[in-house]
Amino acid sequence: MANSIKRIRTLALVGQAGSGKTSLAEALLTHAGAVPAAGSVERGTTVCDYTPLEKQLQHSLKLAVASFETKPEAEPTRIHLLDSPGYPDFLGHALPALAAVETAAIVINAQNGIEMMTGRFMQWAQKRGLDRIIIVSKIDADNVDLEGLLERIQQAFGKECLPLNLPAAGRSKVSDCFFAPSGDADFSSVEEAHRKLIDQVVEVDEKLMEKYLEKGEVTPEELHEPLERALREGHLVPVLFTSAKTGAGIAELLEVIVELLPNPTEGNAPVYTSIPAGGGEAKELTPIPDPGKHALAHVFKIEIDPYIGRIAVFRVHQGRLTSNMQLYIGEGRKPIKPGHLYMLRGKTQTEVHEAIPGDICAIAKIDDIQFDHILHDSAEDAHVHARPLELPTAVFGLAVMPKKRGDEQKVSDVLHKIMAEDPCFRLEHNAQANEMVMRGLGEIHLKTVLEKMSSQYKIELDTRPPSIPFRETIAAKAEGHSRHKKQTGGAGQFGEVFLRVEPLPRGKGFEFVDAVKGGAIPNQFIPSVEKGVRNVLEHGFVAGYPLQDVRVTVYDGKSHPVDSKDVAFMSAGRKAFLDALGKARPVVLEPIVNVEIVAPDEKMGDIAGELSGHRGHIKGSDAPRPGLVQISAQAPLSELEHFPARLKSLTAGHGSYSLEFSHYEPAPPQLQQKLVAAHKPQLEAE
């Protein structure tokens, strides 16, 4: 077994859905002898797509870990390979992989070329300081132009993207351009590619550059350190050609992983923050990849297996973890004993006794461990946090209700399990509309959750678009009055209230002011008046939505020495408020959201038309990359119900968007009338 940190490599396969990541993982595992024969995505027999739903949909839906060792056994290298899903809807599973590895391998499908997720992953990986390699997959496929693709890669991502090998013999194999450059290539030439690589690498080392200019040669040994530096600084992004189907380039890819990619002591070290107990300024902390130090490991994946239960997958960044040691979970004070430590290869778990920096391992059945937790063995490290992942916000919503009555608790339990696995999935309870709303990154995300509920947990749900969180406010000042008097038998009830309402600036919420003089309303009854007023706030006045941005000032009233009671003032407060609201020009407010859209630039006009047809307006646009446009717009949330589907059809699936709440604005008169009219029958029924 590889027990030296220097013989560990961690690598995440990322990129567009269907680019061939899972198939590449399978080809690498097969080549290394870790599986006897390659499975296929179509037959549902790969190591990484192991859940029933993945097999059915033929797409990865979660992150899979495949750890294996290379031959020769005398000096094996342990490779922790992460296979991530490519659909943007599953970014909650894919992005955490970047927190666990030294290298991001961005996979580009030779047939489709650069796609939306290619650029995004290139950027995300660079932002996190990861070494990057580009793997061009499916070079065997029909009608591919690899020479053109290489040019486009260099145009889009810079001249530092240089091939380490080139397709040869009609794309049936590749010729090495780095270690022992020789042989022919289908385009360009091995010698030229070799020279360009050396030119690029020596640029990071002045001395070596001088020697190279003088002698025209440098040895592979001399290149090792500068190459690591060039990778770390993003000065070199190697490009490799592969076919998982024919095996072309797979042995060469494995050789690059073993010989060139950084070990855990060489990549850019991850940054943690440490927030002192009791608050104070956060300090940056860099874990030291040394097994002799305190243990620090980051949980980047939680999986809830129907048979095993919770599996927490972590990457060790510092120290040594063993199965019988005492470990603390984040800020928790109660230590746990892992009992067993596992290395993973898809769904197969292999027990190990320890894990050292660079290792990716799992602990099962400890329910307190959550996504993003730090596992450590020292009380000093209780306040350490991993650098935030900057995950997208879940805004796409669906209101859900069980088809079968009585399933409510079960539904909530299962959705909480799904939430534990996926940091981009949220659950909300909208008390006002009495609905449970699940939120995710897009339609496919939530559809997959529904599929999983149905196939794995046998729960069927009805869905509908969630209610729009409208609000109400007032547009004018007004006064209100109410006298509550009851004297039929028994003790009487008496309370009288005068109050004033006025609009507050947007976003200010609600203010209650007691301006009663001379005890006209005795002090002890003021809270009852406020309670009566607040009662109205929740239920609104014209359309049943919560009222906001209103100040209520109670300025006078009357009491009775015997008959004044809490209930009397509550009722008078409520009615006086309703009286004032009727005169204060109540209006319905609607939520306005910021919309960020990234799409092919020729679709700009169509998207602008779609938005302006739905009361949206464009605030600006940018070109993140040639061929793409990024549009910033604002639109009322109530108009965006069909936007995801429209964007998909306008851009043939190549557009993406994100929404975030901006502010409230009065709804236009027609919508006001519609909402008020919809509320009336409800009032009459009450």
Ligand X SMILES: Nc1nc2c(ncn2[C@@H]2O[C@H](COP(=O)(O)OP(=O)(O)OP(=O)(O)O)[C@@H](O)[C@H]2O)c(=O)[nH]1
Compute the radius of gyration of the chain from its Cα atoms: 31
Query: Could you say whether residue 19 binds ligand X (CB under 6 A)?
Result: yes
CB of residue 18 to ligand X, shortest distance in Å? 4
Query: Could you say whether residue 269 binds ligand X (CB under 6 A)?
Result: no
Query: Could you say whether residue 92 binds ligand X (CB under 6 A)?
Result: no
At a CB cut-off of 8 Å and minimum separation 6, what does 247 contact? Answer: 27, 31
CB of residue 65 to ligand X, shortest distance in Å? 14
The first and second tokens of residue 215, run together, are 């002698």
CB of residue 252 to ligand X, shortest distance in Å? 14
CB of residue 142 to ligand X, shortest distance in Å? 8
Q: What is the spatial distance between Cα 494 and Cα 483, in angstroms, rounded to a whole number?
A: 8
Binding residue for ligand X, selected from 51, 70, 77, 137, defined by CB under 6 A: 137
Encoded one letter per residue, x for contact with ligand X by CB under 6 A and - for no contact, window 222-261 reads ---------------------xxx----------------
Question: Which residue's entry shows tokens 């928790």?
Answer: 332
Do 581 and 501 form a contact (C-beta atoms < 8 A)? yes
Query: Could you say whether residue 22 binds ligand X (CB under 6 A)?
Result: yes
Residue 227, helix vs strand vs coil: helix
Closest CA relative to residue 264, chosen from 358, 356, 359, 176: 358
Dihedral angle, C-alpha 623, 624, 630, 632, nearest 10 °: -100
Please say which residue, 83 or 377, places its beta carbon nearer to Mg ion. 83
CB of residue 81 to ligand X, shortest distance in Å? 12
Query: Could you say whether residue 426 binds ligand X (CB under 6 A)?
Result: no
Residue 487, helix vs strand vs coil: coil
CB of residue 668 to Mg ion, shortest distance in Å? 46
Residue 156, phi then psi, degrees to nearest 5 = -75, -40
Encoded one letter per residue, x for contact with ligand X by CB under 6 A and - for no contact, window 139-168 reads -xx---------------------------
Count of residues interacting with ligand X (CB under 6 A): 21
CB of residue 20 to ligand X, shortest distance in Å? 4
CA 331 to each of CA 258, 334, 381, 384, 400: distance values in angstroms, whole numbers, following the listed order: 37, 9, 8, 8, 34
Please say which residue, 120 or 603, places its beta carbon nearer to ligand X. 120
Long-range contacts of 667-671 (CB under 8 A, 24+ apart): 667/470, 667/587, 667/588, 667/589, 667/590, 667/636, 667/638, 668/615, 671/588, 671/590, 671/638
Query: Could you say whether residue 138 binds ligand X (CB under 6 A)?
Result: yes
CB of residue 94 to Mg ion, shortest distance in Å? 10
DSSP code for 250 = H
Give the end-to-end CA distance of the chain in Å, rounded to a whole number. Answer: 73
Binding residue for ligand X, selected from 10, 30, 51, 60, defined by CB under 6 A: 60
- Decide which of ligand X, Mg ion, none touches 245; Cβ closer than 5 to 8 Å per partner kind: ligand X
Please say which residue, 135 or 497, places its beta carbon nearer to ligand X. 135
Binding residue for ligand X, selected from 5, 18, 89, 114, defined by CB under 6 A: 18
Please say which residue, 22 or 200, places its beta carbon nearer to Mg ion. 22
Query: Could you say whether residue 86 binds ligand X (CB under 6 A)?
Result: yes
Partner residues linked to 622 by β-bridges: 630
- Decide which of ligand X, Mg ion, none touches 542; Cβ closer than 5 to 8 Å per partner kind: none
Pairing outcome for strands 309-318 and 165-168: unpaired
At a CB cut-off of 8 Å and minimum separation 6, what does 253 contact? Answer: 24, 28, 135, 240, 242
Query: Could you say whether residue 421 binds ligand X (CB under 6 A)?
Result: no
Do 220 and 115 form a contact (C-beta atoms < 8 A)? no
- Decide which of Mg ion, ligand X, none touches 234; Cβ closer than 5 to 8 Å per partner kind: none
- The reply to whether omega before 466 is within 30° of 0 (cis) is no
- Decide which of ligand X, Mg ion, none touches 138; Cβ closer than 5 to 8 Å per partner kind: ligand X
Please say which residue, 27 or 595, places its beta carbon nearer to ligand X. 27
Please say which residue, 23 or 548, places its beta carbon nearer to ligand X. 23
Contacting range for ligand X; rule: CB under 6 A; set: 15-23, 299-307, 369-377, 460-468: 15-23
Query: Could you say whether residue 93 binds ligand X (CB under 6 A)?
Result: no
Residue whose Cβ sits closest to ligand X: 86
Residues that bind Mg ion (CB under 5 A): 21-22, 60
The first and second tokens of residue 514, run together, are 């007691």
Question: How many other CB atoms sit within 10 Å of the CB of residue 308?
Answer: 13
Please say which residue, 87 or 371, places its beta carbon nearer to Mg ion. 87
Question: Which residue's entry shows tokens 């049936």?
Answer: 172
- Decide which of ligand X, Mg ion, none touches 17; Cβ closer than 5 to 8 Å per partner kind: ligand X
Binding residue for ligand X, selected from 7, 9, 21, 373, defined by CB under 6 A: 21
Contacting range for ligand X; rule: CB under 6 A; set: 13-21, 63-71, 178-186, 206-214: 13-21
Residue 414, phi then psi, degrees to nearest 5 = -65, -40
Binding residue for ligand X, selected from 5, 11, 12, 17, defined by CB under 6 A: 17
Amino acid sitting at position 644: P
Partner residues linked to 659 by β-bridges: 595
Residue 319, phi then psi, degrees to nearest 5 = 75, -165
Please say which residue, 61 or 375, places its beta carbon nearer to Mg ion. 61
Please say which residue, 41 or 418, places its beta carbon nearer to ligand X. 41
Side-by-side strand order, sheet with 493-503: 478-486, 493-503, 550-558, 510-514
Residue 186, helix vs strand vs coil: coil
Over the range 475-512, which residues count as b (16 or more CB within 10 Å of their CB) and which as e? eeebebebebeeeeeeeebbbbbbbbbbbeeeeeeeeb
Do 186 and 171 form a contact (C-beta atoms < 8 A)? yes
Please say which residue, 26 or 496, places its beta carbon nearer to ligand X. 26
Query: Could you say whether residue 447 binds ligand X (CB under 6 A)?
Result: no
Partner residues linked to 610 by β-bridges: none
Encoded one letter per residue, x for contact with ligand X by CB under 6 A and - for no contact, window 31-50 reads ---------xxx--------
- Decide which of Mg ion, ligand X, none touches 634; Cβ closer than 5 to 8 Å per partner kind: none
Please say which residue, 59 or 315, places its beta carbon nearer to ligand X. 59
Q: What is the spatial distance between Cα 409 and Cα 430, in angstroms, rounded to a whole number?
A: 16
CB of residue 257 to Mg ion, shortest distance in Å? 19
Residue 130, helix vs strand vs coil: coil
- Decide which of ligand X, Mg ion, none touches 42; Cβ closer than 5 to 8 Å per partner kind: ligand X
Please say which residue, 21 or 603, places its beta carbon nearer to Mg ion. 21
Please say which residue, 243 or 448, places its beta carbon nearer to ligand X. 243
Residue 34, helix vs strand vs coil: coil
CB of residue 13 to ligand X, shortest distance in Å? 7
Q: What is the spatial distance between Cα 467 and Cα 626, in angstroms, rounded to a whole number?
A: 39
Binding residue for ligand X, selected from 20, 238, 440, 586, defined by CB under 6 A: 20
Please say which residue, 86 or 96, places its beta carbon nearer to ligand X. 86
Query: Could you say whether residue 23 binds ligand X (CB under 6 A)?
Result: yes
- Decide which of ligand X, Mg ion, none touches 140; Cβ closer than 5 to 8 Å per partner kind: ligand X
Q: What is the spatial distance between Cα 438 and Cα 398, in angstroms, rounded to a whole number?
A: 5
Note the residues at the interface with ligand X (CB under 6 A). 17-23, 40-42, 59-60, 85-86, 137-138, 140-141, 243-245
